[in-house]
Amino acid sequence: MDTNETKKFLDPKISIIIPFFNSESTLKRAVDSVILQSFEDWELILVNDGSTDQSEWIAKSFLGDHRILYSYQENMGVSAARNLGASKAKADWLIFLDSDDVLRPNSFTKMNSCINEYPDYDYFHFGICSISQKDVKERIPSKSVYVGKLAGSVLLKRILFEQVGGYDENLKFSENTELFHRIHLLPVKFLQVAIISVEYFSSMVGGSKNTQNILHGLLYILDKHKDSLSPHIKFLYHQSAGVIFIRFKKISLARYHFLQALKFKPWKLPTWARLGLTFFPPLAKKIYQTKVSFD
């Protein structure tokens, strides 16, 4: 290893954190998307969140590359795994990537250009390519186009991540949204960059556990940030919670959340219609059918 390579290993420009849990079918693809980047001044931290399949073996097969590190924790969820990875990062800049997604080629080169051109900025938000069984959609963030801050689409200063306390480990849904809500309570500088950095593979796997995580996230954020959420976000979260409660056949709770939503946007006729459905439970359950439950 020459002197320059040693310096990069000791002081990389970008740290990538990939948490994984039972990801044997996708982990290699995600790691390869990092290794094949043209920009090489990085470190990759793989965090095993208590996998029981062959993911550990796959992760350790990459450890011959001195830029790749491995950590293990008992299953505690993606937020805890990301925090563990970030705690071991050496670089000033962080990227979180999910184990079933991939970075686009040359993403690091473009990110490094942003760092060099805007060194006093706190984070950079890039576009995403969403891939499902039905279609492929590319989305670029701008002032007029909202694009969620998904893992792989944000390059973030480590010092800022540490300042806000990292991910909230109580969350298994909307953890990125909640993190950036806290970040934007501070005077941060950020740039929306018109390039795609990550290909996000939409999962067709769902069910009661995922829906419960969504509901828990909505209610948790509504309570945690009740004094700082915008009226628009409160409306959206209460309405979403109402729909989920109908699906879970919890009609009185659905009615409560629709009423809360209407406090923020009383002119929303579709919300009034959903509220009306709660007074006709058989019809509501027929329209919002689901196989999931709290059991």
The percent of residues in the chain predicted with pLDDT above 70, rounded, is 92
Question: For 241-275, how does the pLDDT look when each residue is reduced to its tens digit (9 = 90+)?
Answer: 999 999 899 999 999 999 999 999 999 999 999 99
Q: Does the pLDDT at position 294 exceed 50?
A: no
List all residues 6 or more positions away from 222 whose beta carbon is below 8 Å from its beta carbon: 229, 234, 237, 238, 241
- The pLDDT score that the predictor gives to residue 4 is 52
Q: Does the pLDDT at position 205 exceed 70?
A: no
The per-residue DSSP string of the chain comes to --HHHHHHHHS-SEEEEEEESS-TTTHHHHHHHHHT-S---EEEEEEEES--STHHHHHHTTTTSTTEEEEEE-S--HHHHHHHHHHT--SSEEEE--TT-EEPTTHHHHHHHHHHH-TT-SEEEEEEEEE-SS-EEEE---SSS-----TTSEEEEHHHHHHTTS--TT-SSSHHHHHHHHHTTS---EEEEEEEEEEEE------HHHHHHHHHHHHHHHHHTTTTS-HHHHHHHHHHHHHHHHHTT-HHHHHHHHHHHHHH-TT-HHHHHHHHHTTSHHHHHHHT--S----
Kindly report the pTM of this predicted structure: 0.89
Q: What distances in angstroms separate CA 121 from CA 57, 58, 115, one per listed residue?
A: 38, 36, 8
- The pLDDT score that the predictor gives to residue 283 is 83
Mean pLDDT, the chain, rounded, equals 91
Buried b (16+ CB within 10 A) or exposed e, 64-84: eeebbbebebeeebbbbbbbb
Question: For 165-193, how does the pLDDT look when each residue is reduced to its tens digit (9 = 90+)?
Answer: 999 999 988 999 999 999 999 999 999 99
- The pLDDT score that the predictor gives to residue 117 is 96
Residues listed for the chain: 295
Q: Does the pLDDT at position 142 exceed 80?
A: yes
pLDDT-derived band at 295 (thresholds 50, 70, 90) equals very low
Question: For 40-66, how does the pLDDT look when each residue is reduced to its tens digit (9 = 90+)?
Answer: 999 999 999 999 999 999 999 999 999
pLDDT-derived band at 10 (thresholds 50, 70, 90) equals low
pLDDT-derived band at 286 (thresholds 50, 70, 90) equals confident
Q: If we measure between CA atoms, which residue out of 146, 141, 34, 7 comes closest to residue 96?
A: 34
pLDDT-derived band at 203 (thresholds 50, 70, 90) equals low
- The pLDDT score that the predictor gives to residue 287 is 79
pLDDT-derived band at 206 (thresholds 50, 70, 90) equals very low
Q: Does the pLDDT at position 83 exceed 60?
A: yes
- Domains in the chain, please, with CATH? 3-201 (3.90.550.10), 208-287 (1.25.40)
Give the strand pairing for 123-131 and 190-201: parallel
Buried b (16+ CB within 10 A) or exposed e, 127-150: bbbbbeeeeeeebebeeeeebebb
Q: If we measure between CA atoms, which residue out of 269, 140, 117 comes closest to residue 196?
A: 140
Determine phi and psi for 131, rounding to 5 degrees: -115, 120
> Does the CA dihedral 186-172-18-90 come out positive or negative?
positive
pLDDT-derived band at 293 (thresholds 50, 70, 90) equals very low
State the average pLDDT over residues 194-204. 86
Measure the CA–CA gap between 200 and 220, rounded to whole angstroms.
26
